[in-house]
Structure 1
Amino acid sequence: MRNKRKLLIEQLDQKLQPFQKTEMVLVPAKGWINTIRTALNMTMAQLGAKLKITRQGVRNIEESEAKGSISIKSLKEVGEALDLKLVYGFVPKDGTIDNLISLKAEKLAEKIVLRTNQNMKLENQGIGDKNINETIKELANEIKREMKKSLWD
């Protein structure tokens, strides 16, 4: 099961790799629909005809996209009407899915080890800083290897 999960993560990272190299895409202030329609010199009435809705319907769609409340279904429909493909997905902010898992595992391990060490110090059984760092790394590797659900709490 662990090997299958590791393979899935590797495959996902490979699929997301092309998006890692691009700078963050900023959504235009008026939204993509308005920006593309305007760049194509297409009127709201023309786009409305393709979507079989009124000019006001196009205005509502553009406004809902600009506010971030448009549905994916509506975006797909507009894309098809414009002969464009909708691209949708999530890309890790820093690096890969594997890096995300590693960072979460390290944070969880640090929390566990420091809390445990604090309790041990109260009983005069604490471990030194060097051992703390080693213990954190070992626990992080174990958490990552086992992909415990507590990783996402």
Structure 2
Amino acid sequence: MDKKQAALARKQLERRLAPLRDLQLAAPPRGWMRAIREALGMSTRQLAARMKAAPSRIPAIEKAEASGATTIKTLREAAAAMNCTFVYAFVPTKPLDDILRDRAAQKAGQNIARLDHTMRLENQPLLRSDLDDEQRRMIDLILANSPRSIWEDD
């Protein structure tokens, strides 16, 4: 995927994800499955029958969901059995372009710190304004290259 396609894909994905970022959606303490099942007035036996599972499996699934140890497949099956849609998403904490810029700034900051250290050792310290200008230039250069490179640890 070239740079323009990648930027367009990020923009489209961002448009879909932005509304989710603002949601304050905290899972119920005992898990979504149990909360929905109880809200529907459905017993574990009834849910097990709808899932074609052993009745003893439902409390185990609910416990696993609450602890984060269940599978997406199992949650999808439970949701379908309760006439629900299972939703699974990674929601970035901020816009994707901001995440890329922050990572580029981090990488540039590391490079600038090494440069500044070297220059100070040679008794040629750079002015703060020069360092800031160079960091902005490096950020732009990093972002102009492949985004994959910014995720490499030095």
TMscore range, shorter length: over 0.9
Runs of at least 4 residues of structure 1 off by over 6 A?
A: none
Tell me the TM-score normalised to structure 2 length: 0.92
Per-residue deviation, residues 75-124 of structure 1 (Å, max 9, x unmatched): 1111111111111111112x211111111111111111111121122123
Amino acid at match of 2:95: T
Residue 121 of structure 2 is matched in structure 1 by 122
From the superposition, tell whether residues 116 and 148 of structure 1 become closer, same or farther in structure 2 (CA, over 3 Å): farther
What percentage of aligned pairs have identical amino acids? Answer: 30
Q: Is the contact between residue 100 and residue 147 of structure 2 (CA under 8 Å) also seen in structure 1?
A: no
Residue 87 of structure 2 is matched in structure 1 by 87
Q: What residue ranges of structure 2 are gaps of 5+ in the alignment?
A: none
Residue 52 of structure 2 is matched in structure 1 by 52
2:136 is paired with a residue whose SS is: helix
Amino acid at match of 1:13: E
Mean CA deviation greater in 2-11 or 68-77: 2-11
Residue 28 of structure 1 is matched in structure 2 by 28
Aligned residues: 151
Q: What residue ranges of structure 1 are gaps of 5+ in the alignment?
A: none
Amino acid at match of 2:10: I
Residue 41 of structure 1 is matched in structure 2 by 41
Amino acid at match of 1:67: S
Residue 72 of structure 1 is matched in structure 2 by 72
Let me know the Cα RMSD of the aligned residues: 1.3
Per-residue deviation, residues 57-90 of structure 1 (Å, max 9, x unmatched): 1111101101101100111111111111111111
Distance in 2 (CA, whole Å) between partners of 1:56 and 1:85 is 23
Tell me the TM-score normalised to structure 1 length: 0.93
Mean CA deviation greater in 132-141 or 37-46: 132-141
